[in-house]
Amino acid sequence: MREIGHFIGGKEVAGASGRTADVYQPMTGEVIAKVALASKGELRAAVENAAAAQPAWAATNPQRRARVMMRFLDLVNREMESLADLLAREHGKTIPDAKGDIQRGVEVVEFACGIPHLMKGEYTEGAGPGIDIYSMRQALGVVAGITPFNFPAMIPMWKFAPAIACGNAFILKPSERDPGVPMRLAELMIEAGLPAGILNVVNGDKEAVDAILDDPDIRAVGFVGSSAIAEYVYSRAAATGKRAQCFGGAKNHMIVMPDADMDQAVDALIGAGYGSAGERCMAVSVAVPVGKRAADTLMDKLIPRVEGLKIGPSTDPVADFGPLVTKQHLQKVRDYVELGVREGANLVVDGRDFKMQGYEDGFYMGGCLFDEVRPEMRIYKEEIFGPVLSVVRAKDYDEALRLPSEHEYGNGVAIFTRDGDAARDFAAKVNVGMVGVNVPIPVPIAYYTFGGWKRSGFGDLNQHGPDAIRFYTKTKTVTSRWPSGVKEGSEFVIPTMQ
């Protein structure tokens, strides 16, 4: 059985707490590894190591730091096949989808390669007599990232690539459910030339997270996961004076206007609703057709497509999606479907009893589709995070705009329409952080920022793009006056620009 320890000081070290967690292979249901769960003391050792290495890394010129990221890109691309295989085995998503997970992380590493430009400060000559002002961005020191199971390559890279490029040392606490890829990425960063101690992976559970939150030498924490934990991390990090950005759960709606191309809308719903078994924070979990005709047409086209979804093991090259991540999560999703039936929603496709031949112990379920879901139902209010799509019929555009705007989550939303006026109005008014127009999963590309609103995001600065540079640096502003600009005598009145 493979034992996964921690990655501290440039190498893998065995766990010393005596506590471990099982890592499953969801496609077969087997335990394929045991991952160490760090104690407070082990986390502290990683922080001390990182703090010792960080000043020299921050003093390394930004172009050299960028070159490490460039070599890392080459190595990730070289290892794409084996990384995707490992990712699919621990997570359950299909290999092509696993490659997408890695690629979306790679794109943020590419963005971070621009760090010499991105970290430039500002300069004003002659702001007053003999006075010049400039600002500079400096690394924070040691920072940490706590990441979820569902993107074990992408989200760690979203966190550590900009942070490290800015000159910080990084402590990554990945999900204990699929820690293999984050550990391998850390090894590749060392192979790319990153000094030991700058990227550390501390595996663990709540104990490690709390140790991060309470550690006085960690200056910032980036979290991605469920909303209750995001809120907890945000407030506990703030209590110890840390900068925090914490991203949570979602309930992403896709509005289908009567003039939309229904075939395109159905294609989009199938991919965005059921891809990765619905275990994406940007999955579409609510479809909102506007008007009875649009709703009936949509359902007629959607039902056979959901019934025809191809579920398979992660290694099946033609499967639409694979198993869910754990047996407990599978049970939770099944329970939600049962709840929806009890709440009175119309379960028009029931995939709960799907069995994968030859993989009977894997964590599979088929696609489920609910019609006539109403906003007061729990299956509408809560995040299910499985291959379950709810259809809420809206009578008009105003109602369709209100639904995602009033939902407690506000991660992503989409509108499908040919009407530019409606699309423009929707994008301007909807109370959600990321909007797609005829794009079902509007994950902004690396040089824009990613972040949800309301209970999908706690904190002000988003992930990747310019916000990532702001989050992982602090700004220092220098006001300088040369002797030629100094007037005689002391000034007792606050200086102004009058």
- What minimum distance in Å lies between the beta carbon of 333 and ligand NAD? 12
Q: Is 281 a catalytic residue?
A: yes
Structure tokens that stand for 168 in this block: 């910080």
> Which residue in 181, 229, 306, 311 binds ligand NAD (CB under 6 A)?
229
Q: Please, what is the Cα angle at 383 between 96 and 95, to 5 degrees?
A: 10
Structure tokens that stand for 201 in this block: 């992976």
Q: What is the DSSP string of 318-332?
A: T-SB---S-HHHHHH
Question: How many helices (DSSP H) and strands (DSSP E) are in the chain?
Answer: 16, 23
Locate tokens 């990712």: which residue? Answer: 87
CB closer to ligand NAD, 152 vs 366: 152
Distance CA 252, CA 272 (A): 10
Stretch that binds ligand NAD, among 86-94, 173-181, 421-429, 482-490 (CB under 6 A): 173-181
Nearest to 38 by CA among 294, 275, 160, 211: 211
Buried b / exposed e over 412-433, threshold 16 CB at 10 Å, is bbbbbbeeeebbeebeeebebb
Is 153 a binding residue for ligand NAD by CB under 6 A? The answer is no
Residue nearest to ligand NAD (CB): 225
Distance CA 231, CA 57 (A): 32
CB closer to ligand NAD, 329 vs 470: 329
- What minimum distance in Å lies between the beta carbon of 415 and ligand NAD? 20
- What minimum distance in Å lies between the beta carbon of 325 and ligand NAD? 8
> Do the strands 218-224 and 142-146 form a parallel or antiparallel pair, or are they unpaired?
parallel
Is 147 a binding residue for ligand NAD by CB under 6 A? The answer is yes
Chain centre distance of CA 82 = 22
Is 180 a binding residue for ligand NAD by CB under 6 A? The answer is no
Label residue 161 exposed, middle or buried (CB < 10 Å: 0-12, 13-18, 19+).
buried
Locate tokens 């300088």: which residue? Answer: 480
Distance CA 46, CA 62 (A): 24
What is the identity of the amino acid at 462?
Answer: N
Nearest to 244 by CA among 233, 228, 255, 254: 233
Is 110 a binding residue for ligand NAD by CB under 6 A? The answer is no
Distance CA 367, CA 321 (A): 10
> Which residue in 94, 252, 449, 456 binds ligand NAD (CB under 6 A)?
456
Is 381 a binding residue for ligand NAD by CB under 6 A? The answer is no
Distance CA 404, CA 252 (A): 8
Distance CA 311, CA 93 (A): 11
Stretch that binds ligand NAD, among 6-14, 142-150, 360-368, 429-437 (CB under 6 A): 142-150
Site for ligand NAD in 383-402 (CB under 6 A): 383, 385
> Which residue in 149, 160, 380, 416 binds ligand NAD (CB under 6 A)?
149
Site for ligand NAD in 255-294 (CB under 6 A): 281
> Can you tell me whether residue 151 is helix, strand or coil?
coil
Is 224 a binding residue for ligand NAD by CB under 6 A? The answer is yes
- What minimum distance in Å lies between the beta carbon of 249 and ligand NAD? 3
How many binding residues for ligand NAD (CB under 6 A)?
26
Is 25 a binding residue for ligand NAD by CB under 6 A? The answer is no
Measure the CA dihedral 317/323/325/328, to 10°. -170
Is 412 a binding residue for ligand NAD by CB under 6 A? The answer is no
- What minimum distance in Å lies between the beta carbon of 210 and ligand NAD? 7
Beta bridge partners of 279: none
- What minimum distance in Å lies between the beta carbon of 64 and ligand NAD? 31
Q: How many CB atoms lie within 10 A of CB 456?
A: 27
Stretch that binds ligand NAD, among 62-70, 128-136, 203-211, 294-302 (CB under 6 A): 203-211
Site for ligand NAD in 433-452 (CB under 6 A): 452
Is 247 a binding residue for ligand NAD by CB under 6 A? The answer is yes
Cβ pair 415, 404 in contact under 8 A = no
> Which residue in 225, 273, 433, 436 binds ligand NAD (CB under 6 A)?
225
CB closer to ligand NAD, 146 vs 266: 146
Site for ligand NAD in 49-78 (CB under 6 A): none
> Which residue in 28, 94, 168, 175 binds ligand NAD (CB under 6 A)?
175
CB closer to ligand NAD, 422 vs 430: 430
> Which residue in 5, 148, 152, 182 binds ligand NAD (CB under 6 A)?
148
Is 205 a binding residue for ligand NAD by CB under 6 A? The answer is yes
- What minimum distance in Å lies between the beta carbon of 424 and ligand NAD? 26
Q: What is the DSSP string of 16-28?
A: -SS-EEEEEETTT
Stretch that binds ligand NAD, among 63-71, 103-111, 202-210, 413-421 (CB under 6 A): 202-210
Cβ pair 74, 38 in contact under 8 A = no
Which residues carry out catalysis? Answer: 281
Binding site for ligand NAD (CB under 6 A): 146-151, 173, 175-176, 205-206, 209, 224-226, 229, 247-250, 281, 383, 385, 411, 452, 456
